Amino acid sequence: MSATDKLKHTAEELQGKAKQAVGGATGDRDTQAEGLKDEKMGQLKGVGDKLKDVAK
């Protein structure tokens, strides 16, 4: 797995955390839920990256 992909997935996770914070601060539950989804997708992709590295 390339370092670029790993950075993209980490950035997606951090962006999700930021959306959650904004949603929580503004009371926007949709933004908060979208942030949670983005964070979890970034984490899941990160796990996939690690599995690919182990499989090499």
Report the domain count for the chain: 1
Mean pLDDT confidence for 10-39: 96
Domain containing 22: what range? 3-55
Residue 1: is its pLDDT beyond 80?
no
Residue 31: is its pLDDT beyond 70?
yes
Supply the pTM of this predicted model: 0.84
Mean pLDDT confidence for 6-33: 95
Q: Which residues of 12-36 are buried (b: 16+ CB within 10 A; e: fewer)?
A: bbeebeebbeebeeeeeeebbeebe
Q: Per the structure block, which two tokens stand in for 30? A: 């949709």
